[in-house]
Amino acid sequence: MKQPNQPLIFEQSRPGRVAYSLPETNIPEQSLSDILPGANIREEEPALPEVSELQLMRHYTALSNRNYGVDSGFYPLGSCTMKYNPKINEETARMAGFAATHPYQPEAQVQGNLEMMYDLQQALAEITGMDEVTLQPAAGAQGEWTGLMLIRALHEANGETGRTEVIVPDSAHGTNPASATVAGFDHVTVRTDERGLVDLEHLKEVTGEKTAALMLTNPNTLGLFEEDIMEMADTIHQAGGRLYYDGANSNAIMGITRPGDMGFDVVHLNLHKTFTGPHGGGGPGSGPVGVKKELIPYLPGPVLTKENDTYYWDKDRPHSIGRVKPYYGNFGINVRAYTYIRTMGAEGLKKVSEYAVLNANYLMRRLEPYFDLPYGRHCKHEFVISGRRQKKLGVRTLDMAKRLLDYGYHPPTIYFPINVEECMMIEPTETEAKETLDAFADAMIGIAKEAEEDPEMVQEAPHTTVVGRLDETLAARKPVLTYNTETSLKSMK
C-alpha cells in the first residue's frame, strides 16, 4: 500500500557532517594547474549539502518511494504499453558475456553477441513479416525517421524526387508527423471517420503523385483495427507510394497477423514497449526497423551478416543511408527483448496478444456505463473513453486523472488522441490480473460518482500527494535540477 507521506524536513545540512569515509590517499599532492586549464579550476568549495550517511540514505529512499513505476502499481498509460518487465531479462542482460564486452572488440571475439543480435533480427522479421531488420535505431521515433529515410532513398533511386508528402491520420502518435518533417517531407493529414477508422474516401483524395508514404498505426491509437487496410495499401501502392507501419505497440497482433501481410513495406517496433524493455524516464530504448526486399540495399550500415556460421559486419553497402547509431544500437535492451521472445516462444507471444485484447475489452465494458465511449466496437490492446459526461458537471478529464492519484494509480494517457473530446486512453496490457483490473475499474467508477456528488472535491484533486498540481510547462521548460537552497525552497512552495 501507499507509504504515508512524512513531513518534509528540507534543509538538513550542517557543516562538518559527512556521509562517507575514504581511505588516506597515497597519490602525491599535485598542483591542479598542472593537470587542468585554469578556467576549469574551482575557486570556491562547492556548496554541497553536508549530511550523515543515514540522512543521505533516507533522502534517496524517500525519493524512490515517491516514484511510481510498473513495479509499484497499475500503469494504464495508453499508447505506452507499460507492461511488466520480467526480471529474468535483467539477469541475462547482466551476464558478463553480454555486459562486459566492447562494441569495438574484434568480431571473432564476440561471435556469441553477434549471433544473439542476428537471431533477434530474424525473430523480429518473422513476427512482422518483413525480409530484413536493423537493430540500430534507439527509439520508436528514431525508427520512424530511419524508415522514412529508407523510403526516401528508394524513391530517389527510382528518380521519383517529386514524392514529397507523407500521409498521417489525425489520430496518429505525435512522433509520426514530426518524423516525417525531420525526414524532409511535408505531412498531410487524413481524417478519422465516425467508425474511428481512417476515412477511406478522404485517403483516396489526398493520395497522388506526390505521395511518398502513408504512415499508419494498426490497431490505431484509438485501439481499433483498420479493417480496410488491404484497400488502403492498394490505394497507396497504385499511386506509387509505400506503407510505413508504426508498430510501437504490437501486443494486439503478435502471432495473429503481420504488417508484412497487410501490405506494409517498412515497420518499426518498440522493444521497450511490446517486448518488455523497461522505459520511461528517458531510459535506453530500441526501435528496430524491418523492411521488405526492395528496401534492403538502403538499410543503415554496417549490416550484420552470417556466412558459414560466422557473423560479421558487412560494410560494403554503397546504397546505405549510413549509420544512425553506433554499431550495436542499445545492446542491453536488445538482450532483454531476445530473452523475452525466447522465454515466450511463438505460442506465448500469441497468448500475449489474446490477453492484451481481452484485458482491454474487459475494462472497457466495465467502464462503459459510467463514461462516454466514442467508439463502441470491440477494441484491441487499448481503448478510449471520453469525459464529456463529467465535463457537463464541471469536472474535466484532467481533474479525474489527478483524482486517480489519490486512489494510488498512475492515470491513463489524457487528451490524446486529439480528435476525441476530453479523452482518456487506457491500455491495461496483458500482464495485469483480473483483480487489478477490477480494482482500477472500481476507482474509476468511484470517481465518476464523485463527479456527480462532489464535483469540487474532484476539481481540487489530488489531496494526498506530496505536491498538488504542478506547473507542467515550467517544470519542463525551467526544471530545477541542481541543489540550491534558495531555488529549492522556492520550488517547494
Instruction: Say how far apart CA 132 and CA 113 lie, in whole Å.
Output: 18
Taking the CA atoms of residue 127, residue 132, residue 134 and residue 137 in that order, the dihedral angle to the nearest 10 degrees is -60
If one asks whether residue 140 binds ligand PLP (CB under 6 A), the answer comes out as yes
Instruction: Say how far apart CA 461 and CA 442 lie, in whole Å.
Output: 18
If one asks whether residue 128 binds ligand PLP (CB under 6 A), the answer comes out as no
Amino acid letter, 94: R
Minimal distance, residue 80 CB to ligand PLP, in Å: 6
If one asks whether residue 417 binds ligand PLP (CB under 6 A), the answer comes out as no
Q: Which of 120, 135, 248, 269 binds ligand PLP (CB under 6 A)?
A: 248
Stretch that binds ligand PLP, among 61-69, 84-92, 243-251, 295-303 (CB under 6 A): 243-251
345, 164 contact by CB (below 8 A): no
Nearer to ligand PLP, 336 or 402 (CB): 336
C-alpha distances out from residue 302 to 150, 324, 331, 447, Å: 15, 10, 15, 54
Binding-site string for ligand PLP from residue 203 to residue 242, where x marks contact by CB under 6 A and - marks none: --------------x-------------------------
> Comparing C-alpha atoms, which of 165, 83, 46, 30 is closest to residue 356?
83
Instruction: Give burial (CB, 10 Å; 0-12/13-18/19+) of 413.
Output: buried
Q: Which of 285, 288, 290, 387 binds ligand PLP (CB under 6 A)?
A: 285
If one asks whether residue 175 binds ligand PLP (CB under 6 A), the answer comes out as yes
Q: Which three cell numbers stand for residue 59?
A: 533522502
Nearer to ligand PLP, 269 or 451 (CB): 269
Q: Which of 117, 130, 135, 139 binds ligand PLP (CB under 6 A)?
A: 139
Nearer to ligand PLP, 169 or 287 (CB): 287
* DSSP code string of 375-403: --S--SS-EEEE-HHHHTTT--HHHHHHH
Minimal distance, residue 286 CB to ligand PLP, in Å: 8
Instruction: Say how far apart CA 78 and CA 384 lie, in whole Å.
Output: 8
Nearer to ligand PLP, 82 or 451 (CB): 82
Touching ligand PLP, residues 56-85 (CB under 6 A): 79
Closest residue to ligand PLP using C-beta atoms: 140
Binding site for ligand PLP (CB under 6 A): 79, 139-141, 173, 175, 217, 246, 248-249, 270, 285, 287
